[in-house]
Amino acid sequence: MSLNPFETVKEHVDLAVRSADEVKTTTCYMCACRCGIKVHLKEGKVRYIEGNPDHPVNKGILCAKGSAGIMNHNSPARLKKPLLRVGKRGEGKFKEIEWDEALALATNWLADVRQRDPSKLAFFTGRDQSQSFTGLWASQYGTRNFAAHGGFCSVNMAAAGLYTLGGAFWEFGEPDWERTKYFMMFGVAEDHDSNPIKAGIGQMKTRENAKFVSINPSRSGYSAVADEWVGIRPGTDGLFVFALIHELLRAEKIDFASLARYTNAPWLVVQNPGSENDGLFVRDGEGNPLIYDVREGHLRNALDADITPAMAGRYELPSGGEAVPAFELLARRYMAPEYAPEAVAEKTGVSADVIKRLAAELADVAFEQEIVIDQPWTDAWGRRHDKMIGRPVSFHAMRGISAHSNGFHTCRAIHILQALLGSVDVPGGWRNKAPFPKPAPPGPRPAGKKVAPNTPLDGSPLGMPYGPEDLLVDEKGEPLRIDKAYSWEHPLSAHGLMHMVIRNAWAGDPHEIDVLFMYMANMSWNSSMNTKGTMDYLTDTHADGSYKIPKIIYSDAYDSEMVAYADLILPDTTYLERYDCISLLDRPISSAHGPADAIRHPVVKPDRDVRPFQDVLLDLGVRLKLPAFVAQDGKAKFPGGYSDYMANHERAPGLGPLAGWRGKNGESEGRGEPNPNQIDRYIENGAFWQHHFPADQQYFKAVNQSYLDYAQMMGWIPDNKPIIHQLYSEPMQKFRLAAQGHGPHQPPERHRERVATYFDPLPIWYQPFEEDFLENEDEYPLHALTQRPMHMYHSWGSQNAWLRQITTWNRLFIHHEIGKQLDLQDDDWVWVDSRNGRIKVQVKLVWGVNKQTVWTWNAIGKRKKAWGLSEDAPEATKGFLLNHLIDELLPSREGAKRYSNSDPVTGQAAWFDLRVKISKCAPQEAGESAPQFDPIPPVPEAFPSPKILRYGKDMAATPEGTAVEPTEWVAHKSEVAQALDKDRAKGERS
């Protein structure tokens, strides 16, 4: 070192360093996207988490949540040991107990219920990523009262997609990002598939030959980079889509050939009003649907190869009566003047000119800019096609459509728009991801009609009803399930109604329960409608002082608001400390290019007395002697825990949770006997397995014979027959016919009109229920929505020292014009009122929002002292939840029993139907959000929350190796090259 005081000391910088002792590959769980991650470890601590470049989901990128995994993994809110409630429920007083005691107690409670009446257990699992396992456990236990959180998340999207295309938006499909030239996205969608969507939008825009249109009341997130933002009024997307369809039909910009081949548009529909077969498909003796063959002049099997089906006209049936092709019914409905752009402009807030232009743009890209790939393929009728022809318009929709009470029909409308444009699973269009498509709807049907003591169900509690005969109702037609799923109130509730469980259990409607068992679901706070009501339901007692919900077992990794409301806490690990299985039986991580599945495995050991929930569930399964988890000798069938189950459980011979490296030596994919080394093979391969479809299987999957053969071999579909898109939904019509009095399965009288109205076999639009109940729109003039910020996942973000610095509290975003009317400036305090309650919040004025809409970030608001935060944390003092304003029940009509605040078809929670009014607070009211609740004391022996966090200080890298020359790093390399090339060509020409 120089000692010359006149010379600046030159810093020595080590350019080549070793910053980690070891790098392990696993799967992220900071949201539902499930990216591949590389976890860098230094002296046993997590030094750095980055995206895995080889992984099919994220290809090296990683979002803010994933990058902040270190801080969730080290959160002071982590639970440390099993807890038993010692105070009153809701007080948050617990004592620590040993696992033996905790498991013995849980077994005692659960065994007692199981031998009396297993349906007195309600087992609901929140943001569970192991639903094929937890569902199996419920089925083995013998309760029909099981679901995860899909009912309050996106079942409208799943059900609408699966009943129409046999696939769905959600994360189960994706635009053909490399080829699409026009991408229309509906609603807030900054979740599920979040990294692939960000990457896809970036890739598409970098190409400079594609247009991205966002139909969204709010111009945040993706909408900010859209080439065109259409600030639609919430809940009116269905009307908007109908108007697009109206335009396309009237201009005859329809892919008739595709409709005739791949959809049920030409299938004949019986026109016999008042009869039991009205509106059903005309079928031959073997049950095949029929078309009218124009060339041959008679009815024929719609599934034959060489048909020339009529798309319109009335045809006499040999058995008497008449029928018309489904397409005629569809065309008549949407060509009606009520769906003309001019007719919907006012309600949607989108001008007729804009609707007409967007329809014309869609038609232009679909029909004038078709894509041709020189790739021969063979369809399911043996016809050889020498090319793959694509219509490069693609769509995506998620929460903004889903969370309305008209979401099922709206989502079906979008699928029909896709089909009319011929852009389903074609080059440049929207594509299915494996294992989809499946038959529309896919089997099996929901199990649980019969429940018996100590007896497993005869199938999975969740499934897809084909008609009224599949409902889970008693002889009077009343619900059997605690959440009233699969009842006449919402027949296609394929994911259950988690949002109704606590309310119904409290009310004993349809029945009481003995044990409520929940996993990672913050029901006493941001995961419930009517949060205060939910707290009351959880703590309410009978006259004798006993709780109306007698026993509550809860498993979570963190000290969430829900912990205080449980009797027994089973602490879970973080995602870096456990095995997990991202399975094709469940919610896979496939892409359109091929199937994929993945695992998590422990990359660090827990530093506290916690156990992975799935291991605990297996343990309980053995203690309760559930057949699937017990070997013949009565001992554990999977003594190695969940990883043992992942490798060795077989759903059917040769089919298990993981598709990769099956067979004794890992020689087979998809089918094969269990491989004792399967988990090791996954770990060697970066914790995932992936298969690439050959080029001839990439598109037209529903009718692509080569693909269908492969899908059948993999066990995804029961046979290799073509999957015909169900634009006209016969299962819907079957429910409607029942409501009209036909058939042996009849709804109770009070539900008839509702079922008849909402089970229309073609999409309809109706005013979202909350609005429909308003006598005067001005009473609650504004729509109110929430969105999930891209950097947080529900309630998890605020315990994260890094992420909470990005959003420490939420404000209500309102349009400047509303602000002007109410004399509001940024950060002013307002009261927000709905028919269910009032909250006090701070506002932020924005331009990029529909003028009739206010919105805020979801789940930032926290209860005081929950999640390891201090009592004065802004999440609690200024943050807020909209949930308080949302009732879980709709108002009563003429004194009738109240329905849940949900979609009438699927039971999807209608979070976004909310209507509010806002008014300025008095000056003395400003400063703290309302309502406020007593602080929740931390659990015993909680980790201290440090005042200063110096993470990484003790992780200094060691110099190693030599420095290399830096190279440039260009994102979207080939798209950049393409754009630069075009630019150069332009330069040369000029």
Partner 1 sequence: MTSLPKTPPKKKLGLVIDLDICVGCHACAVNCKEWNTGGHSAPLTDMNPYGAKPKGVWFNRIHSFEAHDEETGQSRTVHFPKSCLHCDDAPCVTVCPTGASYKREEDGIVLVNADICIGCKLCSWACPYGAREYDEDEGVMKKCTLCIDRIYNENIEEEKRAPACVTTCPAGARHFGDLNDPNTTVSKIVKARGGMDLMPEQGTKPVNKYLPPRPKAADQKTTAPRMLRYEDESTDGAGLLARWVDKLLS
Is the distance from CB of 698 to CB of 234 less than 8 angstroms? no
Q: Which is nearer to partner 1, 469 or 684 (CB)?
A: 684
Is the distance from CB of 686 to CB of 385 less than 8 angstroms? no
Q: Which is nearer to partner 1, 773 or 802 (CB)?
A: 802
Retrieve residue 287's tokens: 């049950």
CA distances from 422 to 239, 267, 292, 325, 528 (A): 21, 17, 22, 18, 40
User: Is residue 985 within the footprint of partner 1 (CB under 8 A)?
Assistant: no
Q: Which is nearer to partner 1, 208 or 941 (CB)?
A: 208
Q: Which is nearer to partner 1, 154 or 214 (CB)?
A: 214
Residue 25's beta-bridge partner residues? 38
Q: Which stretch binds partner 1 (CB under 8 A): 104-112, 478-486, 930-938, 960-968?
A: 960-968
Q: Which is nearer to partner 1, 62 or 414 (CB)?
A: 62
List the one residue from 36, 51, 56, 731 that touches partner 1 (CB under 8 A): 51
List the one residue from 319, 546, 967, 990 that touches partner 1 (CB under 8 A): 967
List the one residue from 234, 309, 400, 747 that touches partner 1 (CB under 8 A): 309
Phi, psi of 299 (to 5 degrees): -75, 145
List the one residue from 337, 382, 744, 895 that touches partner 1 (CB under 8 A): 337
User: Is residue 815 within the footprint of partner 1 (CB under 8 A)?
Assistant: no
Sequential DSSP letters for 910-946: -GGG-EEEEEEPPGGGTTS-B---PPPPPPTTPPP--
The secondary structure of residue 889, as a DSSP letter, is B
User: Is residue 9 within the footprint of partner 1 (CB under 8 A)?
Assistant: yes
Helices 613-623 and 99-116: crossing angle in degrees, nearest 10, is: 50
User: Is residue 846 within the footprint of partner 1 (CB under 8 A)?
Assistant: yes
- The type of residue at 212 is F
Q: Which stretch binds partner 1 (CB under 8 A): 170-178, 334-342, 516-524, 818-826?
A: 334-342
List the one residue from 2, 4, 8, 319 that touches partner 1 (CB under 8 A): 8
User: Considering the complex, what minimum distance in angstroms separates the CB of residue 631 from partner 1?
Assistant: 44
In the chain, what's the furthest Cα-to-Cα distance? 109
Residues 6+ apart with CB under 8 A from 328: 311, 312, 313
User: Considering the complex, what minimum distance in angstroms separates the CB of residue 588 from partner 1?
Assistant: 20
C-alpha 680/C-alpha 682 separation (Å) is 5
Residue 267's beta-bridge partner residues? none
User: Is residue 976 within the footprint of partner 1 (CB under 8 A)?
Assistant: yes
C-alpha 106/C-alpha 784 separation (Å) is 41
Peptide bond into 747 cis (omega under 30): no
User: Considering the complex, what minimum distance in angstroms separates the CB of residue 439 from partner 1?
Assistant: 24
User: Considering the complex, what minimum distance in angstroms separates the CB of residue 74 from partner 1?
Assistant: 11
Q: Which is nearer to partner 1, 206 or 720 (CB)?
A: 206
C-alpha 27/C-alpha 576 separation (Å) is 8
> Which residue, chain included where needed, has tokens 């807890």?
83
List the one residue from 95, 116, 298, 332 that touches partner 1 (CB under 8 A): 332
Peptide bond into 612 cis (omega under 30): no
Is the distance from CB of 850 to CB of 233 less than 8 angstroms? yes
User: Is residue 4 within the footprint of partner 1 (CB under 8 A)?
Assistant: no
| H or E, element range at 683 | helix 678-684
List the one residue from 674, 933, 972, 978 that touches partner 1 (CB under 8 A): 972
> Which residue, chain included where needed, has tokens 């988490």?
49
Q: Which is nearer to partner 1, 122 or 355 (CB)?
A: 355
C-alpha 534/C-alpha 527 separation (Å) is 10
User: Is residue 651 within the footprint of partner 1 (CB under 8 A)?
Assistant: no
User: Considering the complex, what minimum distance in angstroms separates the CB of residue 184 from partner 1?
Assistant: 13
The secondary structure of residue 479, as a DSSP letter, is B
User: Is residue 24 within the footprint of partner 1 (CB under 8 A)?
Assistant: no
The secondary structure of residue 695, as a DSSP letter, is G
Q: What is the dihedral of CA 715, 716, 719, 720, to 10 degrees?
A: -110
3-state secondary structure 696-765: HHCCCHHHEHHHHHHHHHCCCCCCCCCCCECCCCHHHHHHHHHHCCCCCCCCCHHHHHHHHHHCCCCCCC
User: Is residue 303 within the footprint of partner 1 (CB under 8 A)?
Assistant: no
Q: Which is nearer to partner 1, 631 or 980 (CB)?
A: 980
Residues 416-435 that bind partner 1 (CB under 8 A): none
C-alpha 880/C-alpha 886 separation (Å) is 13
User: Considering the complex, what minimum distance in angstroms separates the CB of residue 138 from partner 1?
Assistant: 36
C-alpha 472/C-alpha 462 separation (Å) is 11
3-state secondary structure 802-824: CHHHHCCCCCEEEEHHHHHHCCC
User: Is residue 971 within the footprint of partner 1 (CB under 8 A)?
Assistant: yes
Q: How many residues bind partner 1 (CB under 8 A)?
A: 140
> Which residue, chain included where needed, has tokens 């001839």?
696
User: Is residue 948 within the footprint of partner 1 (CB under 8 A)?
Assistant: yes
CA distances from 923 to 182, 549, 927 (A): 49, 42, 9
CA distances from 837 to 533, 637, 831, 914, 926 (A): 11, 51, 10, 12, 18
Is the distance from CB of 609 to CB of 577 less than 8 angstroms? no
Q: Which stretch binds partner 1 (CB under 8 A): 8-16, 135-143, 401-409, 430-438?
A: 8-16
* Beta-strand pair 371-373/290-293: unpaired
Q: Which is nearer to partner 1, 104 or 977 (CB)?
A: 977
> Which residue, chain included where needed, has tokens 């089997």?
443
Residue 845, classed as helix, strand or coil, is: strand
Residues 766-805 that bind partner 1 (CB under 8 A): 790-791, 799, 801-805
Q: Which is nearer to partner 1, 259 or 485 (CB)?
A: 259
List the one residue from 303, 317, 604, 979 that touches partner 1 (CB under 8 A): 979
> Which residue, chain included where needed, has tokens 């752009």?
341
Query: x/- string (CB under 8 A) for partner 1, residues 723-762?
Result: ----------------------------------------
User: Considering the complex, what minimum distance in angstroms separates the CB of residue 938 from partner 1?
Assistant: 11
User: Is residue 413 within the footprint of partner 1 (CB under 8 A)?
Assistant: no
Residues 513-572 that bind partner 1 (CB under 8 A): none
User: Is residue 289 within the footprint of partner 1 (CB under 8 A)?
Assistant: no
List the one residue from 86, 104, 257, 896 that touches partner 1 (CB under 8 A): 257
Is the distance from CB of 172 to CB of 166 less than 8 angstroms? no
User: Considering the complex, what minimum distance in angstroms separates the CB of residue 810 from partner 1?
Assistant: 14
User: Is residue 384 within the footprint of partner 1 (CB under 8 A)?
Assistant: no
Q: How far is CA 860 from the centre of its chain?
A: 20
List the one residue from 88, 95, 116, 295 that touches partner 1 (CB under 8 A): 295
> Which residue, chain included where needed, has tokens 């994933």?
66
Residues 177-236 that bind partner 1 (CB under 8 A): 194-195, 198-199, 201-203, 205-206, 208, 211, 213, 219-229
C-alpha 670/C-alpha 314 separation (Å) is 47
User: Is residue 264 within the footprint of partner 1 (CB under 8 A)?
Assistant: no
List the one residue from 100, 719, 775, 965 that touches partner 1 (CB under 8 A): 965
User: Is residue 810 within the footprint of partner 1 (CB under 8 A)?
Assistant: no
User: Is residue 76 within the footprint of partner 1 (CB under 8 A)?
Assistant: yes
Query: x/- string (CB under 8 A) for partner 1, residues 584-613?
Result: ------------------------------
Q: Which stretch binds partner 1 (CB under 8 A): 254-262, 467-475, 605-613, 711-719?
A: 254-262
Q: Which is nearer to partner 1, 293 or 913 (CB)?
A: 293
Query: x/- string (CB under 8 A) for partner 1, residues 340-359?
Result: ----------------xxxx
Q: Which is nearer to partner 1, 86 or 336 (CB)?
A: 336
User: Considering the complex, what minimum distance in angstroms separates the CB of residue 341 from partner 1?
Assistant: 10
User: Considering the complex, what minimum distance in angstroms separates the CB of residue 732 from partner 1?
Assistant: 23
